[in-house]
Amino acid sequence: MMMQGIRKAGQSLVGKLIIFTLFGFLIFSFAIWGIGDIFQGYGRNSVARVGKAEIGLEQLRTAYQNDVQNLTRQQRRQITPDMARALGLDRQALSRLVTESVFDQTTQRMGLAVSDETIRQLIFADPAFRDASGNFSAARFNELLRSNGFTEQVYVREQRATILRQQLAEMVVGAVSAPVALQELGHRLRNERRSVSFAQMAPSLAGEIPAPTEAQLKSFFDERKGAFRAPEQRTADILAITAETLADAGTVADEDAKARYEELKAQRFTTTETRTIQQIAFPNAEEAQAAKARIDAGETFEAIAAARNVADADLTLGTFTRTQIFDPVVREAAFALAEGAVSAPAASAFGPVLLRVTVVTPENVRAFEDVAAEVRAEVATSRAASRISEMHDKIEDQRASAKPLAEIAKEFNLPLRSVGPVDSGLRRPDGSAEPALPGGDATAQAIFRSDIGVDSEAIRLPRDAGYVWYAVTKIDPARDQSFEEVKAQVEAQWHADEVSTRLSAKARELVERLDKGEAFDAVAASAGLTIEQAQDIGRQDQRPDLPANVVSLIFGTAAGKSNSASVTDGGRILFRVDTATVPSYARTTQEADNFARQLGASISEDILAQYVAKLQSDLGVTVNETAFRNATGGTQN
């Protein structure tokens, strides 16, 4: 099935171009980075050697740039070099080229070949090369090849190589399917449901824990020094430009702000009139008119409602704006009434009614003076959005002359943010959290990939919202901390470990009693625990009272047996698996057929990956990291 999919994808020009990349991604996890780098014996422009073949620097550069451009089109945003390397596009490009070279040398050694007639038939059958009448068009063929950077000779050579790679892959995995036993196991893993009885064991069940001695704490610290090691921390300057940072509300003239206010007044600054409406329905107009006459004579609206058996709670329709009332008769009648007044009988869509308005909240329009600052800021921000690209270019010009970010920020009157020292999780030395950075995780990760003095690419914010520049100013390397520095942390961890040890021992005792046949209710009651039930739990389910690690252990415990698991608050959960059910596996359903195909494809990919890894090992693969960085623009480590 997988190879049929490959052949189907290869029926168009775009599919043929994409197919070149397939095998490299299949074996990325088996890629070449565990094979030692060798720097001797390369050609000057060689990035890697695969058996007797070499991968050239320009060949890798072209493949890498094509991958970046493809991802840019898919994401519809610019992919910077830093982002591309963070995503591993550089390594993936080389991995793909290595895989293609491995396949090409293997097919050559095996004597596989593709006839000219096969290539000719493929080209003539490709709908991408046909004209409006459905016939093969040599002019269209040549035009499409030129637009994609191919000559006829190169295209034919690549098609021939692709077909041979497909043939080799088909020989390895073409007939692979998922065994029924594996399908049934997968069905069980996906569809088994369990019910449990459980009880929360709070940390307080551990009892009173005596304070540790100094010697105990020091011994505890000495055994776990690595856990109290201070992580690497970094300090950096950040300069961000967005419409908000570039906006200057002081430059917005009064007439411009007032014009914008008039545009927004109805939608943003006007609270529409609302009315709270009550209603009594009648079977006919005569009864409605008689009731209105009684009200006019002094009888209350509530009395009429009571006589009609309308409860007080059912009197009020609700509070509405004019447009929210769909019935035009009711709408016009209700909004013509004074507060507290009762309408004449109105012929609503559901029959005659009397209406009363109990509360009128009049329309309110916020004056320009009350919202002037907000409007000016909005106008300034809107104008500044068009200046982002211009300001980006000006800042890049300054950076090209080696000016530090602090000077650039001062020159353009932009805010410069100093961050740190913080660790990679943006935690400060005192344990507090650094506020979120502009650019979010991408900025934090970039700071910890960079170094002091490195001129890094700006991070482009999503939806073209702006740019973020960063400069690492200080690096505090990870270090061991003394006992005195972390004594409070050591004591807290010692106490937590003592609680965990005692709770674990208590839980083991309770589990042993349960497994000997004691009732869950009796065991839980003896420990002062409150029993809870959970029905129909799936393997992937997560609940506030049953975290993922507990659910995982529930499915690792036999039906009828008990166990316990720790939870994040320092407590434990004691549970017994009451039932475990699996629906029968019906192989004839569409769902089962889809699952079998997916499982077979996964097995095929795993086998193919292992096969390629073995070919790489047999042929020998070496990489020149220096040339690799030159080809992809990476920095020297």
Amino acid letter, 180: V
Distance CA(594)–CA(617), nearest Å, equals 35
Q: Who has greater pLDDT, 390 or 343?
A: 343
Overall pTM surpassing 0.95 (yes/no): no
Nearest CA to 419 out of 229, 243, 233, 245 is that of: 233
Distance CA(277)–CA(269), nearest Å, equals 25
The CATH number given to 270-365 is: 3.10.50.40
- DSSP letter (8 states) at residue 633: T
Alpha helices in 269-325 (DSSP H): 285-296, 301-307, 312-315
Per-residue pLDDT at 278: 93
Fold match, 193-228+486-581 / 270-365: yes
- DSSP letter (8 states) at residue 24: H
CA atoms within 13 A on the CB side of 568: 6
Amino acid letter, 502: R
Per-residue pLDDT at 13: 38
Distance CA(592)–CA(457), nearest Å, equals 49
pLDDT band at 175 (very low <50, low <70, confident <90, very high): confident
- Residue 175 φ then ψ, to 5°: -110, 15
Helix (H, G, I), strand (E, B) or coil at 342: strand
Using a 10 angstrom Cβ sphere, with 0-12 exposed, 13-18 middle and 19 or more buried, the burial of residue 355 is buried
Helix (H, G, I), strand (E, B) or coil at 351: strand
The CATH number given to 193-228+486-581 is: 3.10.50
Looking at the DSSP assignment, which residues form a beta bridge with residue 239? Answer: 416, 469
Q: With contact defined as beta carbons under 8 Å apart, do 6 and 80 qualify?
A: no
pLDDT per residue over 524-564, tens digit each?
999 999 999 999 888 888 788 898 899 999 999 999 999 99
Give the containing element (helix H, strand E) for 49: strand 46-50
Per-residue pLDDT at 632: 81
Q: At 233, list the tokens.
A: 């921390």
Distance CA(410)–CA(416), nearest Å, equals 8
Per-residue pLDDT at 15: 42
Q: At 421, list the tokens.
A: 């020292």
Q: Would you say how long the chain is, in residues?
A: 637
Question: b vs e for 74-108, b when ≥16 Cβ sit within 10 Å of the residue's Cβ?
Answer: eeeeebbbbbbbeeebbbbbbbbbbbbbbbbbbbe
Q: With contact defined as beta carbons under 8 Å apart, do 343 and 334 qualify?
A: yes
Structurally, what CATH architecture does the domain formed by 2-176+600-632 represent? Orthogonal Bundle (1.10)
pLDDT band at 635 (very low <50, low <70, confident <90, very high): low
Distance CA(419)–CA(188), nearest Å, equals 50
Q: Who has greater pLDDT, 242 or 564?
A: 564
pLDDT per residue over 576-599, tens digit each?
999 998 888 777 777 777 777 888
Distance CA(602)–CA(605), nearest Å, equals 5
What percent of the chain shows pLDDT beyond 90? 30
Per-residue pLDDT at 14: 35
Which residues make Cβ contacts (< 8 Å) with residue 168, sequence separation at least 6?
103, 106, 107, 110, 112
Predicted confidence (pLDDT) at residue 183 exceeds the cutoff of 80 = no
Alpha helices in 297-334 (DSSP H): 301-307, 312-315, 328-334
Domain positions in the chain: 2-176+600-632, 193-228+486-581, 233-251+378-476, 270-365
Peptide bond into 212 cis (omega under 30): no
Question: Any long-range contacts for 107-116 (C-beta under 8 Å, 24+ apart)?
Answer: 107/164, 107/165, 107/167, 107/168, 110/168, 112/164, 112/167, 112/168, 113/164, 114/160, 114/163, 114/164
Distance CA(526)–CA(74), nearest Å, equals 61
Q: Which of 82-91, 99-108, 226-235 has the lowest mean pLDDT?
A: 82-91
Per-residue pLDDT at 149: 73
Q: Compute how many other C-beta atoms are within 10 angstroms of the C-beta atom of residue 135.
A: 9
Q: Please give the full DSSP string across 174-199, using - where no structure is assigned.
A: TT----HHHHHHHHHHHH-EEEEEEE
Helix (H, G, I), strand (E, B) or coil at 468: strand
Tokens 């109290």 appear where?
228
- Residue 102 φ then ψ, to 5°: -60, -45
Q: Which of 19-33, 285-299, 438-452, 591-605 has the lowest mean pLDDT?
A: 19-33
pLDDT per residue over 256-310, tens digit each?
888 888 888 888 888 899 999 999 999 999 999 999 999 999 999 999 998 888 8
Q: In angstroms, how far apart are the furthest CA atoms of the chain?
A: 112
What percent of the chain shows pLDDT beyond 70? 92
Give the containing element (helix H, strand E) for 353: strand 351-361
